[in-house]
Structure 1
Amino acid sequence: MGLGLAALTKIASAPIIDKFGLRKQFETLVQSGTRTGFKAAGAATRSFKKIQGHNKPARLTPAPAKDLFDLEPDEEQSLIAETVQEFAAEQLRPAAVDADAKLAPPADLLERSAELGLSAVGIPESLGGIGTERSAVTNVLVTEALAHGDMGLAISVLAPSAVSTALTLWGDEDQQATYLPAFAGENVPAAALALQEHVALGDPLKPSTTAKRTPKGYQLTGVKSLVPRAAQAELFIISANLDGSPALFLVESSTSGLSVEAEPAMGLRSAATGKVHLDQVDVPVTALLGEGKLDVFTDLVRLSRLAWAALAAGTGKAVLDYVIPYVNERTAFGEPISHRQAVAFSVADIGIELESIRLTTLRAAARAEQGKPFAREAALARKLATDKGMLIGNAGVQLLGGHGYTKEHPVERWYRDLRSIGVMEGAVLV
């Protein structure tokens, strides 16, 4: 097996696993990976068998409440974050240049990333996963660590877990029994959370895609934009306007009337973004996710925006880690350019803005994790990530001078990726 499984084996042998009672979950995942490996399967070969008659949906228990806002992750979170950071450094970062040029992530990379068990950790044990608690803070740390490798590839890796997380949080018992076992298995299906639309000043709470009631269910019509790995996805969660209110629908890629076309963008090119066309797509009554409740939809949008803020923090950290050695090693007039006050102040500004994004995002995630209102904090995190993320990307390019504009250095790619933060909705979830 690959790096991810080796990392999980390392985790399973760590003494703190016993301390936190996680031995059973990690051994289950390691044994599963060792026993079966991974099987290649395309979107056209999988068939989700509809299951009905289960008593009640399975949910992960909330993480234990904390009296104080602790700025440091606990031991378990630190171990998980370090493992993901190693994976991002060894697997995502080296693959980023080719993936950006080819407009697609390498297939073998996605198989290796599945070994990390990102989807299985968020799925209850009763449905084949290894999850026992839901922690939005841990998910933020994982998202940030992956983005430090490459934002586009991080989105490709995280897209399926966004769908499985939504099913765990809001799916009914039949929806969970139908879809979640596949996400907890050896061959995780490609899937995508599709909220984004080509609408000027678009509001995710007012989707232009429509859902019309029919005798057998619903009929969806519209177009979703910048959907990660759209061509490979086997399952979509689609937002649509139902009776004047936003709602979420589970739509399989094989459904009649659904088609996909490539849609490369300025940034996130390694995420293989595409358009999803819905031409009078008929889905059953059971396709409605979260019973069409508005509070479910608003929570999903806010948790998605926190994920984008975490992506901005991870990419911003990559910029900072790259420019510091550059300005210390690059000389002008006989001394490093970091000795110039303007250069030093610019680097300091990157560090300051990066911390503001991280702390605001973690505070919002902590409130979400504890079941407290987090709408204000999520809005602040998105605003900071949008504005200051662009400042960080721009400063990174400027500090490298003419080199910052060339593909010889990764800062131009990070600048393009950071521009997506204020534009994108959906795709990822914490």
Structure 2
Amino acid sequence: MSPHGVSSRDSRDPIGYAVAAVNRLAQSELLDRLGIRRRAEKAVFTITRSGFRTATTAGRAFAKAGQRGRAGARPGASSTHGVFDLTPSEDEQMLVDVVSELAAEVVRPAAAEADAACATPEVVLKAGNELGLTILGVPESLGGLSEERTAVAGTLVAEALAKGDLGIAVAALAPGSVATAISLWGTDEQQATYLPAFTGDDPAAAAIALTEPTVLFDALEPATTARRTAQGYVLDGVKSLVPRGADADLFLVGARLEDGNCALFLIEAGTSGLEVEAEPAMGVRAASLTRLSLDGVEVSEAALLGEGDGTTYVECVRLSRLAWCALAVGTAQAVLDHVVPYVKEREAFGEPVAHRQSVAFLVADMAIELQAMRLLTYKAAARVAAGKDASREIGLARQLCASKGMRIGLDGVQLLGGHGFVKEHPVERWYRDLRAIGLMEGGVLV
């Protein structure tokens, strides 16, 4: 039995459906505007960096549809063939290649300015939408690209995007994460109401709000509460580090019920009592991080996503942590790719610094730790895709990626010396971003 199943897939490979998205991007006018396969154009954009505080405004309208109480469609588990092979299939590699090209030629050139402005250029986000990032985890029957669980594909895509920039990757993947959550746990009514907003030509902005601004925050012990009423629920609390909260049309919020269990709630922007303010952070700045305040926010029973016994909430936390592991792998790879040629070309005392054992051994340790991060993350993703319990594998991957990812970022800064401390080189930004892996919850999932 394969613990992974990345390459051993049959003709119903879920990534095969994503090839349509690759073809769609290849035919898009964005290729010319963004300069893919040439040097990317530098996007010009602005955003308020000093901060704002305002009630969320109603964006698009979500018309109620579907049958209440009826279970929604669910993606099936991926098939395995008993072969342990970490090589991506041909279709998976095609998807990774086009996302990697987007990351290298469009995302990377925009990263420094996006970090400074605390916002991702709209044209970059649109390029991700053209690629189908918002519907990668949505079943084909619901207007998406997959027929089976796409945890492996989502992991590969997140890693590839993060090699360009982690903050922009979070901004691009956040809406699709909400769509994936609705596909996994939504009722027929919820899927019919909300998923069309993600599968159309102008996908909605959305975010998963789990993190809270408390000391030693534990995602499984949120302070945000959901009190049961005759009409539904009333939510109170504060969520922090919510990506793209200012322009989100829909939030997926985690809260604790009166019986002690945790649950997820779909809350539309513009709901009374919902307030958002800018929350620029040390890293992941391009994701336009915000703080979401809930003061007596009233929602109906139909807003509850999945089960209210805590099982759906815990699974959401785990899948989010898996996504952050994939982002850590991609960013750590970017650090290593930058450091290796630098130490080979940088000379001190008449020879490249790579000739010094202290430098060579440190680079070797970075490569070893990165590979361990990647293998644990891939194994966890494969178990999720196969419908197996991956709690242990995700926990191991999260622990390793949080500690070693940050260490790789720190060593990258150290190896560049003074250059690692200035913005001339991107390593200082990658270090700041990697520091978030062990702190941020939610935002994205696979």
TM-score clears 0.5: yes
Name the stretch that deviates more: 402-411 or 103-112: 103-112
Report what 1:198 is aligned to: 213
Match of 2:203 in 1: 188
- Cα distance, 1:343 vs structure 2: 0.7
Q: Which amino acid aligns with 1:47?
A: A
- C-alpha offsets along residues 346-387 of structure 1, whole Å, 9 cap, x if unaligned? 110110000010001111111111122211111110110111
Deviation at 1:24, TM superposition (A): 7.0
Number of residue pairs matched? 411
| Residue pair 1:36, 1:186 contacting (<8 A) in 2 also | no
1:11-60 deviation line (CA, Å, top 9, x unaligned): xxxxx9989697776458856997999xxxx9744111111426541122
Among 57, 67, 87, the residue aligned to 1:53: 67
Mean CA deviation greater in 398-407 or 107-116: 107-116
Q: Which whole-Å CA distance do the structure 1 matches of 2:28 and 2:419 have between them?
A: 48
Report the Cα offset of residue 71 of structure 1. 2.0
- 2:443 is matched by which residue type in structure 1? A
C-alpha distance after superposition, 1:81-137 (max 9, x if no partner) = 111111111111000000011111111111111101012232222222222222211
- Determine whether 1:310 maps to 2:301: no
CA drift of 1:202 comes to 1.5
The equivalent residue for 1:145 is 160
Question: 246, 250, 254: which one pairs with 1:239?
Answer: 254
Equivalences for 1:282-297 in 2 at 5 Å?
Answer: 282-297=298-313
Q: Which residue identity does 2:436 align to in structure 1?
A: S
Cα deviations by residue, 1:62-82 (Å, 9 ceiling, x for unpaired): 211231332222222111111
Point out the more displaced range, 20-29 or 409-418. Answer: 20-29
Give the aligned partner of residue 323 of structure 1.
339
Please identify runs of 4+ aligned residues in structure 1 that moved more than 6 A: 16-19, 21-25, 31-37
Contact 2:59 2:249 (8 Å CA) reproduced: no
- AA of the residue aligned to 2:278: A
Of 368, 388, 391, the match for 1:372: 388
Cα distance in 2 for partners of 1:45, 1:217 equals 23
Equivalent residue for 1:11? Answer: none
- Cross-structure match for 1:12: none
Give 2:77's match in structure 1, choosing from 54, 58, 62. Answer: 62
**121-130 or 220-229, larger mean C-alpha shift:** 121-130
Q: What secondary structure does 2:438 align onto?
A: coil
Q: Is the 8 A contact 1:248 1:290 kept in 2?
A: yes
Q: Is the Cα–Cα contact under 8 Å of residues 129 and 181 in structure 1 kept in the other structure? A: no
Distance 2:17 2:318 in 1: 32
Match of 2:46 in 1: none
Give yes or no for contact 1:221–1:278 (8 Å, CA) kept in 2: yes
Query: Per the alignment, do residues 372 and 45 of structure 1 end up closer, same or farther by CA in structure 2, a change over 3 Å counting?
Result: closer
Of 358, 364, 368, the match for 1:348: 364
Give the counterpart of 1:417 among 419, 433, 438. Answer: 433
Distance in 2, matches of 1:349 and 1:171, equals: 43
Contact 1:206 1:245 in 2 (8 A): no
Q: Contact 2:380 / 2:393 at 8 angstroms: preserved in 1?
A: yes
Q: How far apart, in 1, do the equivalents of 2:185 and 2:435 lie?
A: 31
Match of 2:403 in 1: 387
Distance 1:414 1:34 in 2: 32
2:144 is aligned, of 129, 140, 145, to: 129
Q: Structure 1's 113 and 27: CA in aligned 2 closer, same or farther, altered over 3 A?
A: closer
Q: Distance in 2 between matches of 1:335 and 1:185?
A: 57
SS of residue paired to 1:291: coil
Query: 2:265 maps to what in 1?
Result: 249
Q: Which blocks of at least 5 consecutive residues in structure 1 are unaligned?
A: 1-15
For the residue of structure 2 that corresponds to 1:132, the secondary structure is coil
The one of 210, 217, 229 equivalent to 1:214 is 229
Q: After superposition, where does 1:155-194 map in structure 2 within 5 Å?
A: 155-194=170-209
Superposition deviation, residue 271 in structure 1: 0.7
SS at match of 2:430: helix
What CA deviation, in whole Å up to 9, does each residue of 1:377-422 have, x standing for no partner?
Answer: 1111011011101110010000000110000000000000000011
State the one-letter code of the partner of 1:285: E
In the aligned structure 2, how far is the partner of 1:21 from the partner of 1:123?
Answer: 11
Distance 1:107 1:392 in 2: 31
CA contact (8 A) 1:43 1:233 kept: no
Distance in 2 between residues matched to 1:343 and 1:386, nearest whole Å: 23
1:361 alignment partner, one of 356, 368, 377: 377
Give the 5 Å matches for 1:257-296.
257-296=273-312
Contact 1:57–1:172 at 8 Å: present in 2 too? yes
Normalised to the residue count of structure 1, the TM-score between the two structures is 0.91
For 1:261-282, what per-residue CA distance to the aligned partner results, in whole angstroms no more than 9, with x for missing partners?
0000000111110000101000
3-state DSSP of counterpart to 2:368? helix
Judging changes above 3 Å, is the alpha-carbon distance between structure 1 residues 61 and 102 closer, same or farther for their aligned structure 2 residues?
same
Matched, 1:119 2:134: yes
Distance 2:18 2:394 in 1: 31
Structure 2: which amino acid aligns with 1:380?
L
Q: Calculate the TM-score normalised by the size of structure 2.
A: 0.88
- Once residues 124 and 309 of structure 1 are traced to their aligned partners in structure 2, the CA distance between those partners, rounded to angstroms, is 24
Q: Does the Cα contact within 8 Å between 1:209 and 1:220 map onto a contact in 2? A: yes
RMSD: 2.3
User: Does 2:88 align with 1:73?
Assistant: yes
